[in-house]
Amino acid sequence: MADEKKLVLITGATEGVGKQTAIQLAAKGFSIVMMVRNKTKAERTKAEILKSTPGAMVDYIIVDLTSFKQIRAAAKQFNDKYPKLDVLINNAGLMYPDKKITGDGFELCFQTNHLSHFLLTDLVLDKLKLSKQGRIINLSSEGHKMGKFDPGNFNAEKGYSSIAQYCFTKLCNLCFTYSLADKLKGTNITVNAVHPGVVRSGFGGDSNKGWLKPIFAVARMFMISNEKGAATSVFLASDPSISNVTGKYFKNCKATATKGNTHDTGNQKILWNYSVEKTGAFKNE
């Protein structure tokens, strides 16, 4: 029955790894809710999912992750419509060529890749608590190994590099994963992070300009497909063998060690407290 299906909420599901994750999870019987920016792309992705899995439950909510106001409205829309949530996949991410400050006052990459998902996770957390076994999956990257943790430079106050800022946000994804997993120990919710692999997708398109263009052109020859890139997210969302596994970073469907500064509890606390202060999320955790 449809109401017995597990429900997954996924950001950035209209292209790349996110879309393939949605397609593969629908094929496994999941109901899909996409939080995406573009309605035309959402309709196109919905049609693709229904073509590959006729009869699947597919819905979408339009939201711009660069706006906390829109995230709050989108989360309310989700919470009002759905009685529970089984899997949250914080998939959306970007790398931008130039420094840009959002309407909320934060560097674009930092807000989109970290702060916005921090807020969204808290806003739907009560729905995850109603699942038999809720799962939170944060998309990180091996780029975290190059990320530098500097509390005075979260918003690139000391100078902007698209790659450096992206790697820093991937480090943030891991600090958030480990912090939240610790706070939710003993509950029905697990929290894990994933490296999808170096994927041949549309990611980085906005940065694929100037001196970066030849780098992306060469790198694409060694990248994996979106289908393969989605495999670990699908595994984390659906495999029963990891129902009690939390606070881990997965690569190629296996738990993998991360750089030491991701486990620095001082860094984790600084980032957590900053994120709480700036978003208003997790004040009770």
pLDDT tens sequence across 78-94: 999 999 999 999 999 99
Q: Which two tokens stand for residue 75?
A: 């989360």
pLDDT value at 100 more than 60: yes
Residues facing 31 on adjacent strands: 7
- Output the pLDDT for position 260: 83
Between CA 235 and CA 238 the distance in angstroms is: 5
Q: Which two tokens stand for residue 73?
A: 């409205």
User: Which residue shows structure tokens 């420094």?
Assistant: 99
Between CA 33 and CA 86 the distance in angstroms is: 11
Q: Which two tokens stand for residue 185?
A: 């120990």
pLDDT value at 183 more than 80: yes
- Output the pLDDT for position 211: 46
pLDDT value at 161 more than 90: yes
- Output the pLDDT for position 91: 97
- Output the pLDDT for position 196: 87
- Output the pLDDT for position 225: 54
274 is an active site residue: no
Between CA 121 and CA 247 the distance in angstroms is: 15
- Output the pLDDT for position 213: 53
Task: Calculate the CA dihedral of residues 21, 25, 30, 33 and round it to 10 degrees.
Answer: 20
Share of the chain above pLDDT 70, in %: 88
Structure confidence at residue 285 as a pLDDT band (50, 70, 90): confident
Q: Which domains does the chain have, with CATH numbers?
A: 2-276 (3.40.50.720)
Structure confidence at residue 4 as a pLDDT band (50, 70, 90): confident
Structure confidence at residue 72 as a pLDDT band (50, 70, 90): very high
Among 60, 96, 160, 166, the active-site one is: 166
Classify strands 254-255 and 248-251 as parallel, antiparallel or unpaired. antiparallel
pTM over 0.85: yes
pLDDT value at 226 more than 70: no
Structure confidence at residue 2 as a pLDDT band (50, 70, 90): very low
Lowest mean pLDDT of 48-52, 133-137, 219-223, name the range.
219-223
DSSP character at residue 223: P
- Output the pLDDT for position 224: 42
pLDDT value at 102 more than 60: yes
Between CA 181 and CA 114 the distance in angstroms is: 16
| Average pLDDT of the segment spanning 61-75 | 98
pLDDT value at 206 more than 80: no
Burial class for 39, CB neighbours closer than 10 Å (0-12, 13-18, 19+): exposed
- Output the pLDDT for position 156: 98
